[in-house]
Amino acid sequence: MTDQHSGATARLILGQLIDIQDDPFVVPLTQAVQYHRHGAILVQDGRIVATGPADTVCAAHPGVAVQDMGEAVLLPGFVDAHVHYPQTAIIASWGKRLIDWLNTYTFPEEQRFGNADYAAQIAARYFDLTLAAGTTTVCSYGTIHPASVEAFFAEGRARGVRAVAGKTCMDRNAPDGLRDTAQSAYDDSKALIDRWHGVDRLQYAITPRFTPTSTPEQLAALGALWGEYPDCLMQTHLSEQVDEIAWVGDLHPEARDYLDTYEAHGLLGARGVYGHAIHLKPREVDRLAETGAAVVHCPTSNAFIGSGLFQMAALKARGVSVGLATDTGGGSSFSMLRTMAAAYEIGQLAGTALHPAQLLWLATAGSASALHMADCVGTLAVGSEADIIALDLGSTPAIAQRAERAEDIWEAVFPTLMMGDDRAIAAVWVAGQPIAV
């Protein structure tokens, strides 16, 4: 059936509808969220055309094909703001903290990504796993090999997803076979930008791994590249573990703090995305807020490798943009549901209980905002790209029996956020097209 807007095929998706329209950390819940017990989303040409009460939307668009998801909750697809797709195969490896994790698991695995066929195999596996978990937008690190980024972008383009990636740059404190140079990092990254940035739904992120693995010369070269391509994101790691911070201090005694090692080389700005950011000094928080840079909370990773407790309440109060991420494979799950559960648990340990609406916002619009994509994903706003999921609130007997006692939508949703996994993802649409999950 065609709709009056353009003659293209349209679809009405029905279900319970949670539309988080503003940041529930900042505005009252009643103003931030619209909930429709019987809601509808009209999708056409890959975008959301209308949302609201099902009776109203359906009456305005007679004859449009309907997909009724019953009691499932319709949400934007999840946005994972910090991942390492090359670590897919080593997720949930035992017993290491950050530096040992890199040397024991990460670096040996990443050396395999010089093989384009292996990179393509893992990229396909990664998207299979994340789409099944309801994640429709990801921001990933590659390895030093351009082939790793080529494989990721090629697979993401084939699936029609919105994806960000960058060649990871390292020219010191890494094994033979995993080091580039300041010049090759610049040249390889520039070539990948020219080839992929802005193609379909793909974007490039300039990607120094972190200060310990990049010389000042390499950091400066990547800062210069970012100056040439300011519409790219820049992603790196910041203040994940205390021994890492001490190492940065030894490498850069001239720096005021960890963030200063980036700022001194042109790698601090509004489109900067800094993973972890747990042990920040007051000056660092101030500079992140002043420049409009974003930090990304990686709760399962922070717990799994013993990094520390992210200070969500303090950073949000200071006005710092915060996203949420699995941090695959230091993070121990591909699921943003499990990630929201871990964020809640860490919030409790840090003294602040997060409301279900805040958790959902972090996993959708919050992460989209951190990636400067709030105008296109992470939301059900009219005009947004139609990346949508349907969440089953009774996906397991344990979850179902708890949800049955709920007195409002938040009490019904919360058990799925705490105990849900890919079984809770009843359906996924990417740019308006249903995909198998």
Backbone dihedral angles phi then psi of residue 415, each to the nearest 5 degrees? -60, -35
Residue 5 reports pLDDT greater than 50: no
- Nearest of 126, 51, 162, 137 to residue 363 by alpha carbon: 137
Q: What is the pLDDT of residues 98-116, one digit of tens each?
A: 888 888 999 999 999 999 9
Query: How far, CA to CA in Å, does 309 sit from each of 130, 216, 277?
Result: 25, 29, 10
Residue 394 reports pLDDT greater than 70: yes
Q: What is the pLDDT of residues 410-432, one digit of tens each?
A: 999 999 999 999 999 999 999 99
Q: What is the DSSP letter of 276?
A: E
Average pLDDT of every residue of the chain? 96
- Give me the pLDDT at residue 8, please: 58
- Give me the pLDDT at residue 2, please: 39
Mean pLDDT of 274-284: 98
- Cα 411 to Cα 393: distance, rounded to the nearest angstrom: 11
Q: Tell me the HSE value of 434 on the side-chain side, using a 13 A CA sphere.
A: 13
Band of residue 97 on the pLDDT scale cut at 50, 70, 90: confident
Residue 1 reports pLDDT greater than 50: no
- Nearest of 341, 314, 311 to residue 326 by alpha carbon: 341
- Cα 125 to Cα 384: distance, rounded to the nearest angstrom: 27
In the chain, where does the domain assigned CATH 3.20.20.140 lie? 78-370
Q: What is the pLDDT of residues 217-260, one digit of tens each?
A: 999 999 999 999 999 999 999 999 999 999 999 999 999 999 99
Mean pLDDT of 203-218: 98
- Cα 294 to Cα 321: distance, rounded to the nearest angstrom: 5
CATH class of 10-76+379-435: mainly beta
The alpha helices in 229-388, defined as continuous H runs, are 242-251, 258-263, 282-291, 299-304, 312-317, 336-350, 356-361, 367-370
Residue 34 reports pLDDT greater than 80: yes
Residue 9 reports pLDDT greater than 90: no
Longest alpha-carbon distance in the chain: 68
Q: What is the pLDDT of residues 378-393, one digit of tens each?
A: 999 999 999 999 999 9
Q: What is the pLDDT of residues 301-333, one digit of tens each?
A: 999 989 999 999 999 999 999 999 999 999 999
In the chain, where does the domain assigned CATH 2.30.40.10 lie? 10-76+379-435
Cβ pair 201, 77 in contact under 8 A: no
Band of residue 48 on the pLDDT scale cut at 50, 70, 90: very high
**Residue 382: strand, helix, or coil:** coil
Q: What is the pLDDT of residues 118-158, one digit of tens each?
A: 999 999 999 999 999 999 999 999 999 999 999 999 999 99
- Considering the segment(s) 78-370 as one domain, its CATH architecture is Alpha-Beta Barrel (3.20)
Q: What is the pLDDT of residues 292-309, one digit of tens each?
A: 999 999 999 999 989 999
pTM of the model: 0.97
Backbone dihedral angles phi then psi of residue 200, each to the nearest 5 degrees? 50, -120
Residue 7 reports pLDDT greater than 50: no
Band of residue 43 on the pLDDT scale cut at 50, 70, 90: very high
Residue 4 reports pLDDT greater than 50: no
- Give me the pLDDT at residue 437, please: 82
Which residues lie closer than 8 Å to 283 by C-beta, 6 or more apart? Answer: 256, 257, 259
Band of residue 202 on the pLDDT scale cut at 50, 70, 90: very high
